[in-house]
Amino acid sequence: MSQEIKDSIKSAAGLIEIAAITAPKAKGIDDIRTKTIYKGSKDHKDLVEKMNELGDRKGFKFFFRDSNNTLNSEAIVLISAISKSPLGMNCGMCGYNCTTIPEKKKINDFIAPICAFALVDLGIALGSASKTAQMLNIDNRMMYTIGAAAVELCLIEGDVAMGIPLSVSSKNIFFDR
């Protein structure tokens, strides 16, 4: 791959992060974080290894499939949501009232409870980011497996994350999986 293409992927990843950052959020609360990891970096290697470890630990074969896609991706955009203090809406979607939410704790490898609006914000940010990648003709796919590994490795601040690997090749590596 030429240096020009690699530079273009870096520029595109920046635009994809901007799309996630500027996506609408509940009550205007900034609860979205982004970070891009590039192929060949220590974080990239650690991420792939952690995905394989999680596949072994959880017994999910799709972690191995996704780790292979991640290994072959030029960049991975991480997008996370931070469940800050309650929005005060008392909607109950997280299972609690904003005035009675217990301390967050780890339950089955996940942090809980998380404000439902933070999760909605994450979904909107992911949609905006993926749409931007598609508009730039960069092959991509949203992956929970990347996010789970990134959170466990503390590669990005946040309670829950997803990853969007980016690939530029003559055949979409995320299609025939």
CB 124 within 8 A of CB 24: yes
Q: In the structure, what pLDDT confidence band is assigned to residue 86 with cuts at 50, 70 and 90?
A: low
Q: Kindly report whether the global pTM for this prediction surpasses the value 0.85.
A: yes
pLDDT digits (tens, 9 = 90+) for 8-62: 999 999 999 999 999 999 888 899 999 999 999 999 999 999 999 999 999 999 9
Fold of the CATH domain 3-167: NADH Oxidase (3.40.109)
What are the sequence ranges of the domains in the chain?
3-167
Q: How many CA atoms lie within 13 A of 134 on its CB side?
A: 8
H/E run at residue 32: strand 32-38
Encoding tokens for residue 84?
Answer: 């800050």
